[in-house]
Amino acid sequence: MGIHPSAVIDESAVIAKTASVGPYAVIGPGVTVGDGTVILSHAVIERDTSIGRNCKIHPFSSLGADPQDMKYQGESTRLEIGDRVIVRESATVHRGTAGGGGVTRIGDGCLIMATCHVAHDCQIAEEVILSSFAVLAGHVELGKGAVVSGSSAVHQFVKVGPYAFIGGMSGVVKDVPPFMIVAGVRDKMLVAPNLVGLKRRGFPPEALEVITGAHRLLRNHRPLEEVLREIEERYPASKEAERIVEFYRSSERGVYR
């Protein structure tokens, strides 16, 4: 524990007493670091970033840098990172923009593996996993427990539902429905229920049956609203069905089926 004498820390930064900062780490103005968080050597927390409790920031990661947005003109924006977040080597997470709400957020318990990029204004819920070389463009939203596999890219403004899984080397340009796996490039996507992942998360068999049944209906080529009404009629008491229907109806980019 403690702060290594070679670390460079701005006088306005607030570091919890039980946090530690390794050699040659750089912590800029307006940064706060919570209890039990470990910032390892050569990590850079540039500015206006809050990091919660019991996080671990690995070497050569860059947090809180200016957004890569041509419209950004130096406005005051933030990066907020929750508790128990792990950021691995050479990952980058940028602050928000005024036009996107001003805040990039990383929820509790997330794992951002080496060399990932999270762009401005992304909203990442708790327990999300980004595998190595995954890239999120600006304004992307990831639901609780979602997984983005290695070398996948997610287009700006895409929404990914809770407990969805994006397969490796995918190029995602539409919204990804809750509880489903998608894999492929742009409009050539395979979609299937994320049964293995959902079982690991403790979803009961009856919930898996609903999700599988809803997926079967969504696969056909009938009009979407007609299919959504049938899902509601078949599974009127299911929270999973309700989430799926609401996600499709609220989408602005279109959802993979």
What pLDDT digit, counting tens, does each position of 158-196 carry? 999 999 999 999 999 999 999 999 999 999 999 999 999
**pTM, to two decimals:** 0.97
Per-residue model confidence (pLDDT) at position 8 = 98
CA 185 – CA 154 distance, rounded (Å): 10
Q: Percent of the chain scored above 70 by pLDDT?
A: 100
In the chain the domains, ranked by start, together with CATH numbers, are 2-139 (2.160.10.10), 199-250 (1.20.1180)
Q: What is the pLDDT of residues 10-20, one digit of tens each?
A: 999 999 999 99
Question: What's the DSSP call for residue 48?
Answer: S
Q: Percent of the chain scored above 90 by pLDDT?
A: 98
CA 202 – CA 170 distance, rounded (Å): 26
Q: What is the mean pLDDT of the chain?
A: 98
Q: Report angle CA 32, 38, 42 to the nearest 5 degrees.
A: 90
Q: What is the pLDDT of residues 24-39, one digit of tens each?
A: 999 999 999 999 999 9
Q: What is the pLDDT of residues 102-145, one digit of tens each?
A: 999 999 999 999 999 999 999 999 999 999 999 999 999 999 99
Residue 221 above 90 pLDDT?
no
Q: Which whole number is the average pLDDT over 2-9?
A: 97
Q: Which whole number is the average pLDDT over 32-54?
A: 98
Which residues belong to the active site?
A: 120-121, 138
